Structure 1
Amino acid sequence: MAQSRSGLSAPLPLLYRLFFLYIEPVATAVGAYYAEFEQHEYMQLTYSSSAAAAFGVSTRESIVLTQLANLYFVFALNEALVLRTTNDLRVWRAFLLGLLIADFGHCYSVNKVGIEVYYEFWKWNSMYWGNLGFVYVGAAMRTSFLLGLGLSGRNGAKVKN
């Protein structure tokens, strides 16, 4: 779409706005909730043969899970709020590139379970649907955005949010 004299063009496609401003922040906030308030279940679903299955969550694990919950929460807030505050595609691209890099790190985090965890989706529990399935979708959405799919004629342009 052509830019106007003000540097603004049509709003971002609905799919991107829905996913980045609503769906993903809510899903991430749910992850924060489980990491903070359902720690035993979180540990059980992450790796069922862990000590948490027999002994509960240790103080050390609880501290780390609270820190993880905090990171998930700030991630959800940043995505939901920062992207709403600007109409500059350069900011959106920089922000989403950072999240895409984090997606790769997030997926890497489960490699100790075994390589098959990445593709044997029929064996996934709810935690792996979040830790891998949803992350795959997020990474695909970010990649599509960064490649400009659905953003024809918007190189460096500003858009209305």
Structure 2
Amino acid sequence: MAAPFQSGPQAVPLIYRLFFLYIEPLASLVGAYYAFFQPQEYLRLTDPSSSPILSIPLSTSIILKQLSNLYFLFAFNEALVLRATSDLSVWRTLLLGLLLADVGHLYSVHGLGSAIYWDLFRWNAIDWGNVAFVYAGASMRICFLTGLGMSNKGAQRGGKRRVNQR
């Protein structure tokens, strides 16, 4: 097996490498931080009208810590697992799983009403993360999975192609 991240015609374009290896993992770590260390603020930003004022119920606290753990897992998988392999089939598999998670995530915020998807002038920081950034991530995954911008047509079809991670 060739060393991971060698350059070559099957290189992953810089935009994908920047997004999947740096930008999105960092954003996931921010979400993990808020869900774990700032749960009151996390809930307030998610929906001020239903967030607890004085204390967070134990069950909600546990769920937020579990959510934080999942955000950390997303960051770990993207930032480290994708760096550990040069196999495009692994990249595609991991990114397909995250695309499915994107769909579920976008569906979950529908509980705030349909305006959450288009009324961006009313969005706060968490809305930008829960909607706009998730749409951006899903769009990047769709582009990658369909081979948009890939330098080698063979890399689009599957197989054990190598990627450039420099």
SS of residue in 2 equivalent to 1:84: helix
Which residue of 2 is the match for residue 160 of structure 1? 164
String of CA shifts for 1:81-108, please: whole Å, max 9, x gaps.
1101111111111110110010000011
**TM superposition score normalised by structure 2:** 0.88
Which residue of 1 is the match for residue 62 of structure 2? 63
Which residue of 1 is the match for residue 72 of structure 2? 73
Q: Shift of the alpha carbon at 1:79?
A: 0.8
1: CA distance between counterparts of 2:145 and 2:96? Answer: 7
Runs of 4+ in 1 over 3 A off after TM superposition: none
Which residue of 2 is the match for residue 5 of structure 1? none
Which residue of 2 is the match for residue 95 of structure 1? 94
Query: Which residues of structure 1 form unaligned runs of 5+?
Result: 1-7
Which residue of 2 is the match for residue 107 of structure 1? 106
One-letter amino acid of the structure 2 residue matched with residue 142 of structure 1: R
Q: Percent identity?
A: 55
What do you get for the CA RMSD once the two structures are aligned? 1.2
Which residue of 2 is the match for residue 37 of structure 1? 37
One-letter amino acid of the structure 2 residue matched with residue 145 of structure 1: F
2: CA distance between counterparts of 1:142 and 1:100? Answer: 6
Q: Shift of the alpha carbon at 1:64?
A: 0.6
Q: Shift of the alpha carbon at 1:51?
A: 4.2
Q: For the Cα contact (< 8 Å) 2:35–2:65, is it kept in 1?
A: yes
Q: Shift of the alpha carbon at 1:60?
A: 1.3
| Range 86-95 or range 13-22, more displaced | 86-95
Q: For the Cα contact (< 8 Å) 1:43–1:57, is it kept in 2?
A: no
**TM superposition score normalised by structure 1:** 0.90
String of CA shifts for 1:43-66, please: whole Å, max 9, x gaps.
0000101141x2331111111100
Q: Shift of the alpha carbon at 1:129?
A: 0.3
Q: Shift of the alpha carbon at 1:10?
A: 4.3
Pair 1:14 & 2:14 matched: yes
String of CA shifts for 1:20-61, please: whole Å, max 9, x gaps.
000000000000000000010000000101141x23311111
Query: Which residues of structure 2 form unaligned runs of 5+?
Result: 1-7
Which residue of 2 is the match for residue 149 of structure 1? 148
